[in-house]
């Protein structure tokens, strides 16, 4: 059902229509074009898709506004682990896995994204981990001699 709604919505938006789904809101498309002194000089081929915009119906906004907020019991702080505890968790992790990405260390050490990034940077500086991929999408492997990896690697 949602797939059919998606296909229908895409079709109407591609044809330039503003779509209203009762009780939900309005969808429309915004376009972009290079600036010209005279708008009549803009060619259709230079007009490009920019974004799909959504504006919620009043009814939806009112219903969502009735939410009851309460403080979360689970904070967004990292677990306080010592370097030895982190090393033990990584040793266990590398006994079953050959590579590590940031999300893995977030999960196994219960760290936030930022703390995991700092920890990975420290482990690289200490020559315990090595990035075998790009800086933008790092993939880490243990340096031989760490986390029970052989020096013969």
Any domain includes 153: no
Tens of pLDDT, residue by residue over 45-88, are 888 999 999 999 999 999 999 888 887 666 667 888 999 999 99
Domain boundary among 34, 65, 96: 65
Residues 104 and 58 in one domain: no
pLDDT reported for residue 69: 84
**Banded pLDDT at 153 (limits 50, 70, 90):** very low
Distance, CA of 103 to chain centre: 11
- Could you give the number of structural domains in the chain? 2
Backbone angles phi, psi at 27, to 5 degrees: -120, 140
User: Which is higher by pLDDT, 102 or 45?
Assistant: 102
- Domain of residue 91 covers 83-142
CA distance 94 to 138: 16
Any domain includes 76: no
pLDDT reported for residue 150: 65
Distance, CA of 125 to chain centre: 26
Look at 48-52, 88-92, 124-128, 148-152 and tell me which has the smallest mean pLDDT.
148-152
Torsion of CA 145, 147, 150, 152, to 10 degrees: -50
Tens of pLDDT, residue by residue over 4-53, are 999 999 999 999 999 999 999 999 999 999 888 888 888 888 889 999 99
């Amino acid at each position: 059902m949602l797939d059919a709604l998606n296909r229908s919505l895409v079709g109407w938006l591609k044809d330039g229509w503003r779509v209203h789904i009762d009780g939900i809101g309005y969808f429309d498309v915004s376009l972009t074009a290079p600036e010209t002194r005279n708008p009549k000089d803009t060619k259709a081929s230079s007009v490009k898709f920019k974004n799909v915009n959504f504006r919620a119906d009043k009814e939806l906004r009112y219903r969502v506004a009735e939410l009851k907020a309460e403080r979360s019991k689970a904070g967004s702080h990292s677990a306080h682990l010592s370097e030895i505890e982190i090393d033990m968790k990584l040793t266990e992790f590398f006994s079953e896995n050959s590579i590590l990405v940031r999300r893995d260390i977030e999960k196994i050490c219960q760290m936030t994204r930022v703390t995991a990034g700092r920890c990975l940077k420290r482990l690289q500086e200490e020559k315990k981990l090595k990035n075998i991929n790009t800086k933008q999408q790092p993939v880490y492997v243990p340096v031989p001699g760490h986390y029970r990896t052989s020096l013969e690697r």
